[in-house]
Structure 1
């Protein structure tokens, strides 16, 4: 080290290379942001445990390397070209992964010098500067400083350099810088994304063929390990540059606008091509970028499926890399929003691999991996009966209940443990989807799966509570399971979720309460036993969320089947509140609202109150809908309302007769009967009026 320092001092007599003043860089490039952008909060995408400069300065005794690094930075500032290169070599000899070495460079003003060196024509100066920046830009404070002084624009320029070695270092440095929010915006605005995408276009045919041969020759257990090792040793420089570009695009894809730019630049087909390789170091950033882009349904799903992406993702679940498994499972989670993707996962044997991953005890301590895998299972089971049936054959429900028990023992720290929260959310979501079959409900009931589910109602995660409500609501369709839920106080706890601030939680809880009310023995007494419960559910009719209103209307329709409960909710003003909702044009709400109105008409006085509140005329318009559920509930509601003569007059004036005549020919018998009965009541009133008028004229 002293030898380098003496050489630097000797070289100070010679002329220095022409460098750009750092003040110009900071003012010129740093001032390119608009006022609106400056007002945006700039945050790093990862919370990393790095020491800041103030904390380091507060330490009583700093490491000796801190002062040595600062001394070398001073030589770097004042030396000539030879001294600059020697100083750069000297800096690289330090352990720049230590935060005190990184901060020493920044504190001594070394970042400005390193940025200036990127604008020189000397290859060695550029190379040395990039090697140092690549290592020190992992520190959040340095990322911010380099971004604000205009270092990103210099990196983007180097991406077009003829030297692949410089390109590689530039891409790796950009991957670090892009974890800073403003840096992602700067890269996009200065055209860095198309340049990074262009670097992905490399010839990988040799590696794919070698990897296929290796995988055929090796055993199934060790194939991926051997392939990764061979490929890492043999990767050419252009493929390494593509790997660095993939890392940079992965960090940049945290931004929605950047995803769109990647699409327009043609990045997704090139990334999909790289997935054919069997090299872990390349697959991790490539699949990481793809799973980030998969959140944009408009274009990602179609491209990934056309490129055979699902098959490649399933194959990579065999790897020994936990991170790669996690990324593949996360990508499947995103893609499985579409039913075609769910079918392809099953077709390529992905369901078995996912179940094997959560069944492996070695994986269960890795919460990040478990969250991704359980999320993929949840989405694959969503609305797909064939996948649910296959999961049942693989005994998935027993594994989910075991995971649920293991992760719900201590819930006090759940809000501070997002990974554990993610695992529970996905596990319960998968359980809710698998309750589509009675066999899985029986397993939950007999394997004591209800108790941990009910215990989770006391947590505060909205997504978790939505899934818990759905799972319990499905189980409530089984009378034995419902009886166990009542003994565990599950129905009361579900009712308490109606007070939650999240509208999604309110809606899911209200949907779950309806089967509880329908299937419970003495449901009227059960509902009245919840103090303030009826008043609470009536108050939710003032919500502005359509799903909440539909769920609450359905719950009220079931509550109103009990005459005593109907009297209570009438006193709480349910008639006026339901009537105010009658002008809705949303069919899902119309169906449940009409059902609630029909059941509330069992009390004779309520029929006249609905007419006075103006609910009858809008119901007539419901019959113009094409939804059969709307026809069924509305025809019953109109029949009940037609028992009041003034309501018949209102219906007739609003043209209900042609609609009823049409619905008498419906394929649904309930619609036929209710329409005919309503028409009969209107006709009876008309005949009575005719008879009265005839008698009046005769007299």
Structure 2
């Protein structure tokens, strides 16, 4: 383990000269573990420790010789030196997978926990916690350590004067709190103060493990409150402000990210000037993990209305737009997601519209499909009920990239691209512009998708753009009517409703109505309208529109025509024929 200044810690010296052995005599030394003499036992254990330290192969050798079972008995020996040396060997051997498996079968957990008492020597504390840390990687052992009261002594040992004990204890706790039972229990055990104290350690690995543990437990609201009460937020901000701690910045930011979810905590950080410092730190950082974690933290915070207002006051928009311009795709995705969340604030939505739309449009042409999907998702939120932002997308030459995104590999990107285009189409000039670029022929493929979200959004886009005769002709020529009719059979209510809407729009001329009838739309719509649970506002209107533009079919089925049905092909009704006897 290295200090902050990179000086080394070595295993504790023993009070006897070690017995030197070679691997060929390992079996002999294992036999010595049965000796009744305490000095022989102590020296044999020390020799085995040296032997096992040389590598995993030696650990496996000792396992095969039955050393683990013998050592397990000796860790409860009445002589403290024997006991300590036996624990040392088991502690270092526990890194071996097969040894861990055997230790679980032997159920060493109780015995190891019993050695964590203040009366035991620091060497026993060190290697008992090391062994527990190796074992706690496995879920069932986590549960055992918790159920057998291991959490409390481990937390107490965070205050040990020995850095190795601290390191092993905090590592074990970090593994334990991955389980919800331990996370719930540490609140009552007042874990925050000792963890914050470890952040002052001169050993980076201890600081890192303390931050990782804080990141896990700070997902709980009560723990975040305790963190604030113990001045933990100031401590985290100090780490971010200190260049010497640059290796801890990512983890410190992850803890702060959890804290930003609470309005009260965010207000505290803002009032102390910490939020301004945090955003400035993120803007100036060039480390992708820091930028990404910061964006994720903002995303989580922005789910709350008051948090969004606070972030807007601190001009978080500038920070996020700056992140869109980085070279890292992961950062671009995280920043896009944060912008999406912040769009729920109208002031932020306006700010992003003025400053961020050109960058987002550029991301639509990214080679990274995840980036493309994240960018188009932002544009959905930005253009919803915002004519100015919709116009800004068009001005940034975003229509063509959006049409290209309808061919994307990700279903989410396709569905969102269709939504943005329909948002733009609320303005007639933009609708005509999009239509003239051949959107109907492009939509034919998404209509064939097996994804219900894509189906729904594509059908809705057809309904929006199908009000023009040329657009209907284009869809008909592209073979899009067949897939549209198939969507009428969908079990998904939204898909079925939007498909009915699209059919109603497309049935506005005789040619398209006739083709839809030929493809079976009439029969499906009649079936839908007979069902109380499948019928919707558009299914009846779609059926009526189809019949109004196919009068022969309407008269055949209904037995009458409406006053607004104009016959243009010359057919007429002679009336009902009467037969007299």
TM-score by length of 2: 0.71
2:18 aligned with 1:88, yes or no?
Answer: yes
- Equivalence map 1:141-156=2 (5 Å): 143=55, 146=58, 150=61, 156=68
- The structure 1 residue matched to 2:157, chosen from 257, 267, 279, is 279
Distance 1:642 1:402, change over 3 A: farther
1:179-235 deviation per Cα after TM superposition (whole angstroms, max 9, x unaligned): xxxx5x4545x634545753566348x95xxxxxxxxxxxxxxxxxxxxxxx4x656
1:456 Cα shift?
1.7
Partner of 2:250: 371
Partner of 2:545: 681
1:424 Cα shift?
2.9
- Equivalence map 1:377-526=2 (5 Å): 377-379=256-258, 388-395=262-269, 399-411=274-286, 414=287, 421-478=288-345, 480-485=347-352, 488=355, 490-518=356-384, 522-523=388-389, 525-526=391-392
Counterpart contact for 1:275–1:312, Cα < 8 Å: no
Counterpart contact for 2:472–2:506, Cα < 8 Å: yes
- Equivalence map 1:42-53=2 (5 Å): none
Distance 1:262 1:428, change over 3 A: same
1:263-315 deviation per Cα after TM superposition (whole angstroms, max 9, x unaligned): 6x8455347644674220567545534544766xxxx33x436x624554754
1:586 Cα shift?
4.0
Distance 1:377 1:551, change over 3 A: farther
1:617 Cα shift?
1.9
Distance 1:492 1:279, change over 3 A: same
2:541 aligned with 1:698, yes or no?
Answer: no
1:111-131 deviation per Cα after TM superposition (whole angstroms, max 9, x unaligned): 746866753525344333245
2:49 aligned with 1:119, yes or no?
Answer: no
- Equivalence map 1:128-167=2 (5 Å): 128-132=46-50, 137=53, 143=55, 146=58, 150=61, 156-157=68-69, 159-163=71-75, 164-167=83-86
Distance 1:428 1:86, change over 3 A: closer
Counterpart contact for 2:418–2:458, Cα < 8 Å: yes
Partner of 2:36: none
Distance 1:529 1:131, change over 3 A: same
Partner of 1:95: none
Counterpart contact for 1:88–1:128, Cα < 8 Å: yes
2:398 aligned with 1:553, yes or no?
Answer: no
Partner of 1:246: 132
Counterpart contact for 1:617–1:651, Cα < 8 Å: yes
Distance 1:449 1:688, change over 3 A: same
2:483 aligned with 1:606, yes or no?
Answer: no
> CA separation in 2, counterparts of 1:275 and 1:577?
65
Counterpart contact for 2:173–2:213, Cα < 8 Å: yes
Partner of 1:98: none
> CA separation in 1, counterparts of 2:114 and 2:42?
28
Counterpart contact for 1:243–1:285, Cα < 8 Å: yes
2:521 aligned with 1:652, yes or no?
Answer: yes
Distance 1:464 1:637, change over 3 A: same
Counterpart contact for 1:114–1:129, Cα < 8 Å: no
Distance 1:637 1:127, change over 3 A: same
Q: List alignment gaps of at least 5 residues for structure 2.
A: 1-5, 8-14, 33-39, 76-82, 200-204, 556-560, 562-566, 576-581
Counterpart contact for 1:354–1:377, Cα < 8 Å: no
1:454 Cα shift?
1.9
Counterpart contact for 1:401–1:444, Cα < 8 Å: no
> CA separation in 2, counterparts of 1:370 and 1:559?
42
1:634 Cα shift?
4.8
Partner of 1:43: none
Distance 1:246 1:571, change over 3 A: farther
Partner of 2:80: none
> CA separation in 1, counterparts of 2:506 and 2:211?
54
1:620 Cα shift?
1.2
> CA separation in 2, counterparts of 1:275 and 1:569?
68
2:445 aligned with 1:580, yes or no?
Answer: yes
Distance 1:441 1:244, change over 3 A: closer
Distance 1:470 1:534, change over 3 A: same
2:485 aligned with 1:617, yes or no?
Answer: yes
Aligned pairs, how many? 517
Counterpart contact for 1:317–1:328, Cα < 8 Å: no
> SS at 2:379's partner residue?
helix
Partner of 1:17: none
> CA separation in 2, counterparts of 1:641 and 1:505?
34
1:469 Cα shift?
0.5
1:112-167 deviation per Cα after TM superposition (whole angstroms, max 9, x unaligned): 46866753525344333245457xx5xxxx546656x7466567455424243243
Distance 1:410 1:237, change over 3 A: closer
1:247 Cα shift?
3.1
> CA separation in 2, counterparts of 1:313 and 1:587?
49
1:512 Cα shift?
0.8
> CA separation in 1, counterparts of 2:404 and 2:185?
51
> CA separation in 2, counterparts of 1:586 and 1:275?
53
Partner of 1:26: none
Counterpart contact for 2:422–2:464, Cα < 8 Å: yes
1:1-27 deviation per Cα after TM superposition (whole angstroms, max 9, x unaligned): xxxxxxxxxxxxxxxxxxxxxxxxxxx
1:421-475 deviation per Cα after TM superposition (whole angstroms, max 9, x unaligned): 4333222212122223454444444433322322222334444322211222333
Distance 1:569 1:310, change over 3 A: farther
1:552 Cα shift?
2.8
- Equivalence map 1:298-313=2 (5 Å): 300-301=179-180, 303-304=181-182, 308-309=185-186, 311-312=188-189
CA RMSD of aligned residues (A): 4.6
TM-score by length of 1: 0.61
Distance 1:165 1:464, change over 3 A: same
> CA separation in 2, counterparts of 1:330 and 1:315?
13
Distance 1:114 1:478, change over 3 A: farther
1:405 Cα shift?
1.5
